[in-house]
Amino acid sequence: MKLVSILLAGVILSFQTVAMPASYTNENYDFDAVVAGIDMSERLRAGDNPAEEDWGVFFSHEAYQLVFSISGLSQAQLKQRYLHAFHPEYIPLVDGLAASEKHEVLHLRASAADLSWLAGYQQALPGNKVVEASINLAQQYLPESQNGLPPITFVYGLFGQNAFASGQGVVLDAYLAFLFDAVAPNRLAAHELHHYLYDKGLQGRPLDQQNPFERVLYHIQKEGVANLIDKEFLLLDSSPFSEDLKDWFKASMQDADANLKLLDQMIGEAVRTGREIEFAELQKALPLWGHSLGWYMTRTIDSAGMRPALIEATMNPFTLFSAYNRAVEMLGTDQATFSDATLALYARLAQEKQVQ
């Protein structure tokens, strides 16, 4: 192992490097983009300025392609994140970044500062035991029959404090997965795996993303159920997520009841007046893309002993709002509930899906 130091603006930044395998890829785990990320970090630390062609090759790895296609992160943004994390000319600019992006930069920098974590993490993965453990966790909120499951590969990269999944695949920041597994093994992967399986066809009647009412339901149901797998661990003091992010999520949860009322009011008004409404307007009631409101609702349903209703909602999401109302009634709380007008709208949409 060797120690590399950069003296810049009176601050010594130290990076430890270790011998790395060329890759670690099999049918279950793909680390090619991690190796490419480490190589890119070393070039930038040395003051190199990669050509756009070099960046294009770097971003062509499946992990980064998945990140760009599933999330809102662009190639230009990830390039800047790497420059701020590692390039001597950009490091002094980090303190001027927005707090959220600064945390992402520091996370990325830490992932390559001491690579001793990586070998140990890879050694824990051989075989498919992590995939199987993640399936078992996700299975709690999925129908029992899993015949014909598509092949599952977890694709790893180095990009920030996040993980993403859709029917296209599951991509995780390797360093975040390592840190999160130390707190709650396989939970982060299981959350994303739930998304993947949901989008791959366990959902009985796919929701129309062009219909604002169905898109709202998609985000609430998808994130709400998956959050039952891992979000309580995200908020622990030992969680690897930044305190700002945890505080942001907690604040959003405190507003969940008010946001449910707001969503119901907007939907009810649109139904009564016949006015077309855009998803962007309804999204005002969905901070964090439905993570907080969805978790608020699914926790309520689960607390009422209605987990079968959550599994039913995976196959038929149109039942989620009515299941939430029943759970509130069973628990006898004073939580906000959805109006008859909102429930009637989703019942009608469900009926239309059955006719199609």
Which of residues 175, 202, 229 is at a domain's end?
Answer: 202
Give the pLDDT confidence score for residue 23 in this predicted structure. Answer: 54
Give a yes or no: residue 44 inside a domain: yes
Give a yes or no: residue 326 inside a domain: yes
Give the pLDDT confidence score for residue 286 in this predicted structure. Answer: 95
**Residues 223 and 326 reside in one and the same domain:** yes
**Residues 240 and 341 reside in one and the same domain:** yes
Give the pLDDT confidence score for residue 316 in this predicted structure. Answer: 86
Q: Lowest-confidence range among 133-147, 293-307, 312-326, 328-342?
A: 133-147
Output 165 or 313, whichever has higher pLDDT: 165
**Residues 186 and 218 reside in one and the same domain:** no
Most confident segment among 143-157, 194-208, 277-291: 277-291
> Could you tell me what percent of the chain has a pLDDT over 70?
89
Tell me 114's DSSP state: B
**Overall average pLDDT of the 7-32 stretch:** 53
Give the pLDDT confidence score for residue 293 in this predicted structure. Answer: 97
Give a yes or no: residue 16 inside a domain: no
Tell me 286's DSSP state: -
**Residues 157 and 225 reside in one and the same domain:** no
Output 315 or 138, whichever has higher pLDDT: 138
With bands split at pLDDT 50, 70 and 90, how would you rate the model's confidence at 237? very high
> Could you tell me what percent of the chain has a pLDDT over 90?
72
pTM of the full predicted structure?
0.88
Q: 8 pLDDT exceeds 70?
A: no
Give the pLDDT confidence score for residue 262 in this predicted structure. Answer: 98
Give a yes or no: residue 320 inside a domain: yes
Tell me 29's DSSP state: E
With bands split at pLDDT 50, 70 and 90, how would you rate the model's confidence at 76? very high
Q: 64 pLDDT exceeds 90?
A: yes
Output 202 or 302, whichever has higher pLDDT: 302
Give the pLDDT confidence score for residue 236 in this predicted structure. Answer: 93
**Residues 275 and 197 reside in one and the same domain:** no
CB 164 within 8 A of CB 179: no
**Residues 56 and 100 reside in one and the same domain:** yes
Give a yes or no: residue 8 inside a domain: no
Give the pLDDT confidence score for residue 204 in this predicted structure. Answer: 56
- The domain total for the chain is 2
Which of residues 202, 229, 262 is at a domain's end?
Answer: 202
Residue 288, helix vs strand vs coil: helix
Instruction: Give the pairing of strands 154-157 and 29-30.
Output: parallel
Give a yes or no: residue 9 inside a domain: no
Give a yes or no: residue 17 inside a domain: no
Give CB contacts under 8 A, 24+ apart, made by 139-148.
140/228, 140/229, 140/307, 141/194, 141/225, 141/226, 141/228, 141/229, 141/307, 141/310, 141/311, 141/314, 142/194, 142/197, 142/202, 142/311, 142/314, 143/202, 143/311, 143/314, 143/315
Give the pLDDT confidence score for residue 21 in this predicted structure. Answer: 46
Q: 15 pLDDT exceeds 70?
A: no
Give the pLDDT confidence score for residue 2 in this predicted structure. Answer: 33
Q: 181 pLDDT exceeds 50?
A: yes
**Residues 218 and 100 reside in one and the same domain:** no
Six token digits for residue 346? 């989703």
**Residues 275 and 311 reside in one and the same domain:** yes
Which residue range forms the structural domain that includes residue 224? 212-355
Give a yes or no: residue 108 inside a domain: yes
Which of residues 176, 202, 228 is at a domain's end?
Answer: 202
Give the pLDDT confidence score for residue 203 in this predicted structure. Answer: 56
Give the pLDDT confidence score for residue 242 in this predicted structure. Answer: 84
End-to-end CA distance of the chain: 63
Nearest to 193 by CA among 239, 125, 131: 131
**Residues 197 and 251 reside in one and the same domain:** no
Task: Give the amino acid at 149.
Answer: L
Give the pLDDT confidence score for residue 244 in this predicted structure. Answer: 85
**Overall average pLDDT of the 145-167 stretch:** 85
With bands split at pLDDT 50, 70 and 90, how would you rate the model's confidence at 155? very high
**Residues 72 and 125 reside in one and the same domain:** yes
Q: 101 pLDDT exceeds 60?
A: yes
Q: Lowest-confidence range among 72-76, 100-104, 171-175, 350-354?
A: 350-354
**Residues 43 and 190 reside in one and the same domain:** yes
**Residues 135 and 225 reside in one and the same domain:** no
Beta carbons within 10 angstroms of residue 171's beta carbon = 30
